[in-house]
Amino acid sequence: MFKKILIANRGEIACRVIKTARKMGIKTVAVYSEADKDAMHVSMADESVCIGPPPSKESYLSIDKIIAACKQTGAEAVHPGYGFLSENPEFSRRLEESGVIFIGPKHYSMASMGDKIASKKLALGAKVNTIPGHNAAIDTPEEAVEIARGIGYPVMIKASAGGGGKGLRVAYNDMEAHEGFSACKTEAKNAFGDDRIFVEKFVEEPRHIEIQLIGDAHGNTIYLQERECSLQRRHQKVIEEAPSSFIDPVTRKAMGEQAVALAKAVNYESAGTVEFVVGKDKSFYFLEMNTRLQVEHPVTELITGVDLVELMIRVAAGEKLPFTQEQVKLDGWAMECRINAEDPFRGFLPSTGRLVKYIPPPEVHGVRVDTGVYEGGEISMFYDSMIAKLIVHAATRDQAIARMRDALNQFVIRGVASNIAFQAALMQNPRFLSGDFNTGLIAEQYPKGFNAADVPHADPAMLVAVAAAIHRQYLARNATISGQMPGHAFVAGEDFVVMLGAAQHPARVLEAQGGWDVSFAGERYELRSTWQFGDPLYVGTLNGQQICMQVERRGLIYRLFHWGVQADMQVMSARTAELRARMPIKAAPDMSRFLLSPMPGLLTQIAVVEGQEVKAGETLAKIEAMKMENVLKADRDCVVEKLLAKPGESLAVDQPIIAFK
């Protein structure tokens, strides 16, 4: 067994590998860029080496620097995590030549299966079901359009070396195929250093189901059940679960055996995942093979009881797999939510900055949190947007969903926006709850994006009662301030109006033993809690039932978060509410003359010049943030008056880029 390994990655996956290595008694080496000098994985490892400036190309994607770090520290093996160099056969080969073991498949297996074009040809040879498409690299957008017409729209334009939703577009017509080809090529070159693009038929109403497998150097290859990854937004997975509610034992066995046959065709060693698209009739087609550990591997670990990282390390060290296919178990149900630094209320735009508060739910009762951040740490614009992975395990799917809902309620993040509200809303979506969904669910359910109105609260009375009680508790504290004039002491009062949106809810709040009694709409709500000022979580009981919600005071606003609902509420006296209704509404400033940056990021291109006439739909600028290229287009015909920013400039959110006449 290795005595020391180097982790060629960052963030939560680097921390995840370090935990298992520590459990196995193996020393660890972290590598980091200058932007990550204070990162969690650096402090967790036994040693650390700085490998360059923040851009990935100059640090985490530099093979020479990582090999030099291995030699400097005496690391015998390298775990690549996922992303970066994890599926780069050149990296695996170079390590092997340097006498360092790659904790992953052999470079020749990776080259065969990591390349989507080559792997599809291999799948055909291994008699694995495949999707119709053009399996050779495409050189021009015009050629992409011609091929797409031949296959028949819709088509999927994909980077051969792609992954994580990067270098991937769905096109429904010639224009989308032309633009999609160019965007995929740019993203693929920036993210993977390989800009080869191919096209295949897009299967409508598909489910995305993948088989986890593990192989050793002794000819043993085993599949570890399936994962349901159909809940996706813009081709990026949002929620994963294992097993799939759609797959029956016969289909599971057939998919597993095809995945194993494909792996054996290239002498695959280590952990890998074969992804399938599955039709309504349970027909399945090979999509691609990921020759690395997947982001969503924890759900497989929880239902099978195996540590995939440990198995990868043991296989790389030459050991045999410790169990057979017949011994693989399927215990209960696991589910994972990817907690990302993005704002669901602003079109899921990336959010960067400092984590002012970071309080994950406690890891008890089937709850697991994999993360690489900490309170006070920074979410950088240079890397992906993942903050953490929240994973739960329970006996049944319904119990897993209930456990996930409770865990999301307890997950406190401040300082950067997160997608927790969106995740919690999905946990209540009827189609998701029923298990009857496909990869189009999010696009179909939220065609205009996500906003608070999409999540009506099942019990708004709970929100009203908590807001009223918190306000009364603040006033009770104010009444205890010393130095008040005799006869003019502050009196908290009992009667209030709670403003929830445009609705007014008259409420009476009375102090009770251990909490407050709130009366409104003819009902009484007994709130009992030990909540104190500044606590981000309001935990207690409402009429004897356990409740937990996030609370935050923002000036005169009480922001409550529960079950995916983010409610901004004001509590005031009846007279104040009457006067407030008479106040004029202050109109927001008109910014329609400007193109504003929708996110913090790097301005990579301005596609217009001063004085140019622009038609609606034309590209104005491109911004790169968190490894994704974002194209800003004109929403109307206009004339460019002035350019307010330059390519290469780092932009803040809402920063003006172009002024129009």
- Residue from 288, 296, 301, 629 carrying the catalytic annotation: 288
User: CB neighbours of 460 closer than 8 A, spacing ≥ 6?
Assistant: 500
Compute CA distances 525 → 144, 467, 572, whole Å. 63, 12, 19
φ and ψ at 425, to 5 degrees? -65, -40
| Beta-carbon contacts of residue 418 (< 8 Å; ≥ 6 apart) | 339, 340, 341, 342, 351, 387
Match 């991937």 to its residue by tokens: 168
Q: What are the DSSP E strand ranges found in 89-220?
A: 101-102, 133-138, 155-163, 166-171, 197-201, 207-215
Judge whether 288 counts as a catalytic residue: yes
- Rounded distance between C-alpha atoms, residue 463 and residue 547, angstroms: 11
Q: CB of 144 within 8 A of CB of 181?
A: yes
CA 206 to chain centre: 21
User: Cβ(125)–Cβ(113) under 8 Å?
Assistant: no
Supply 596's token pair. Answer: 């504003």
- Beta sheet of 197-201, edge-to-edge order: 133-138, 197-201, 155-163, 166-171
* Cβ atoms of 101 and 81 closer than 8 Å: no
Joined tokens for residue 191: 């993210």
- Percentages of the chain per state (helix, strand, coil), in multiples of 5: 30, 35, 35
Distance CA 103, CA 419 (A): 32
**What is the rounded CA–CA span in Å between residue 457 and residue 434?**
19
Residue type, 217: A
Beta bridge partners of 390: 337, 369
The residue with tokens 């994963």 is 240
What angle in degrees, to the nearest 10, is found between the helix axes of 107-114 and 116-125? 90
Q: What is the number of alpha carbons within 13 Å of residue 603 lying toward its C-beta? A: 24
**Cα–Cα distances in Å, from 43 out to 39, 374, 421?**
7, 11, 31
Stretch (H or E) spanning 304: helix 297-304
For residue 353, which of 653, 558, 31, 41 has the smallest C-alpha distance? 653
Q: To the nearest 10°, the Cα dihedral for 173, 175, 181, 184?
A: -90
Pick the closest to residue 111 from 96, 129, 92 (CA basis): 92
The residues assigned a catalytic role are: 288
